[in-house]
Structure 1
Amino acid sequence: MKLTSFALAIVLPALILSKPVDAQEASKEDLSAEVAKLKQQMSILANALKNVSENQKVIAREIGLIKPEQPSYSGPIEFDYSVFSGDKNADIVIMEFTDLQCPYCKKHHQLTYPKIKEQFIDTGDVLYANNQYPLASLHPQAEEAAKYLVCADEQGGFIKAKDGLFSKGESIQKRDFLNIPGLKELDHEKLTACVSEEKTQDFIEKSKELAIKVGVKQTPSFIIGLKKDSQLVEWKILGGAEPFENFKSVIESLKNKS
């Protein structure tokens, strides 16, 4: 039985029984009001159950219970909403979509990314494009964290801020941001002004839209391909906290094409 059907079967009778209406004594107005109130409660419950179902799907993808769907879009990808690390003349690009409160993203950043950086980014073989994909339904401070990270880049503090934000990860609270290593050293007035600007929110939203367009279903996800005329082509998606060897295999195969 689906979660929604099961929950409705349990909760709706309780809602109905908790609002007994004596049809013989109640006026039509009272009865109409009771019905309207019950419909509103049912609507709220239905929306809540829908959100629960969507969250379960996200969690299932995060832990690998559901395989990502194949993307319906396979064309070139723009770099308009990325923050770059590495040589912009590199032929190969890894475009990361991350959530700063996602434990699997943290695992990639702390364990796998350093190997990618050492063997491919620092050597000039790979350009790393950092994109934000905060899952607010799972991680309440992820979107705010993404804004702080993007704004840290304006002061040249992207890398240290990303390290600091991932060090806090799931435990980030709104009051923490200006005390996080990598952020606390920056100009706070400029930082908070940037975070509140509409252009920063738009930057994050456009990155999320791109993730949806290309078929990203979980965080972290990585689009790896060749750079041609400032676009990403011949790309494929790696989903989840993949081991370094999987990145290496894809990169080496692309080297033969570049």
Structure 2
Amino acid sequence: MKQTRRQFLKTTALATAAFGLAGTGIALAESVDLEELLIPGPLGDKILGDENAPVTIVEYASMTCGHCANFHKKTWPSLKEQYVDTGKVRFIFREYPLNQEAFAMSMLARCAPADKYFEIVDIMFEQLRSGALSGEFLPALTSLSKQIGYTQESFNKCLTDQGLLDALVAERDRASQKFGVKSTPTFFINGELHSGAMSIEQMGEIIEAAS
């Protein structure tokens, strides 16, 4: 029998607790092995930009993270225009869900058509984060899912996909255990770790130095 949406949220809450972020004992490293970092996770990577770009940025983000939302609102449009679209940066976005709401948002983004992924992520940052924090998340998520093409059946099927949930947990655990990710957003710029929602000026300076 399929879980209800409420049961799903309880299930993901338990999964979050079971795979807790605290207590890993890993210190944030200055840099990681870039070749290992660029090995895709079990769901594959979501990538924008020229694969031959001199700089690769990997972002780990949670879609309920305020700093992540600020980055995608204030910095991302300029980063994409100035560096990704011009072939200077290859950008890889990876999910790092911090709570059950973020898991649900990531799952729906992953279940949608692949060419809509980044568009849906942008919409979720803009429209759903406040609902997730205010307790009005589930109605907002249900409403938005209909706007982006989900039926009630496909919505329920996506959010009860245990394999998808397990893959997201595995990717988050790999980020914590292998690369020292503990907070969001975390960026790796050619393997060098940077935490926090940086401005376009800060990112531009690092990108130019790494080019």
* TM-score relative to the length of structure 1: 0.61
Identify which of 18, 26, 32 aligns with 1:74.
32
Identify which of 175, 194, 208 aligns with 2:139.
175
The correspondence of residues 146-225 of structure 1 with structure 2, limited to 5 A, is: 146-152=106-112, 154-167=113-126, 168-172=128-132, 173-180=137-144, 184-188=147-151, 189-190=153-154, 192-212=156-176, 213-225=178-190
Give the number of aligned pairs: 178
1:89 shift after superposition = 3.1
The correspondence of residues 77-116 of structure 1 with structure 2, limited to 5 A, is: 77-81=37-41, 82-116=45-79
Question: What is the DSSP-based 3-state SS (H/G/I as helix, E as strand, rest coil) of the residue aligned with 2:29?
Answer: coil
Which amino acid is 1:119 matched to? Q
Question: What is the DSSP-based 3-state SS (H/G/I as helix, E as strand, rest coil) of the residue aligned with 1:223?
Answer: strand
1:88 shift after superposition = 2.7
Q: Tell me the residue number matched to 2:86.
A: 123
For the structure 1 residues 215 and 155, does the alpha-carbon distance in structure 2 shift closer, same or farther, using more than 3 Å as the test? closer
* Higher RCO (CA 8 Å, separation ≥ 6 residues): 2
* 1:20-69 per-position Cα deviation (integer Å, ceiling 9, x unaligned): xxxxxxxxxxxxxxxxxxxxxxxxxxxxxxx9xx99x8xxxxxxxxxx94
Q: Tell me the residue number matched to 2:9.
A: none
Which amino acid is 1:219 matched to? T
Percent of residue pairs bearing the same amino acid type: 24
Q: Report the Cα distance in structure 2 between the residues aligned to 1:156 and 1:115, rounded to whole angstroms.
A: 21
Q: Report the Cα distance in structure 1 between the residues aligned to 2:77 and 2:184, rounded to whole angstroms.
A: 18
Q: Report the Cα distance in structure 2 between the residues aligned to 1:196 and 1:88, rounded to whole angstroms.
A: 34
* 1:191-224 per-position Cα deviation (integer Å, ceiling 9, x unaligned): 5433432332133112202320201121111111
Question: What is the DSSP-based 3-state SS (H/G/I as helix, E as strand, rest coil) of the residue aligned with 1:130?
Answer: strand
Give the CA RMSD over aligned residues: 2.6
Q: Is 1:236 the counterpart of 2:192 in the alignment?
A: yes
1:73 shift after superposition = 7.7
Q: Tell me the residue number matched to 1:141.
A: 101
Question: What is the DSSP-based 3-state SS (H/G/I as helix, E as strand, rest coil) of the residue aligned with 1:96?
Answer: strand
Moved more, 195-204 or 244-253: 195-204
Contact persistence 1:90–1:126 (CA under 8 A)? yes
Q: Report the Cα distance in structure 2 between the residues aligned to 1:244 and 1:69, rounded to whole angstroms.
A: 27
For the structure 1 residues 85 and 171, does the alpha-carbon distance in structure 2 shift closer, same or farther, using more than 3 Å as the test? same
Contact persistence 1:151–1:195 (CA under 8 A)? no
- Which entry has the higher C-alpha Rg, 1 or 2? 1
Q: Tell me the residue number matched to 1:10.
A: none
Q: Report the Cα distance in structure 2 between the residues aligned to 1:125 and 1:190, rounded to whole angstroms.
A: 38
For the structure 1 residues 180 and 187, does the alpha-carbon distance in structure 2 shift closer, same or farther, using more than 3 Å as the test? closer
Gap runs ≥5 in structure 2: 1-16
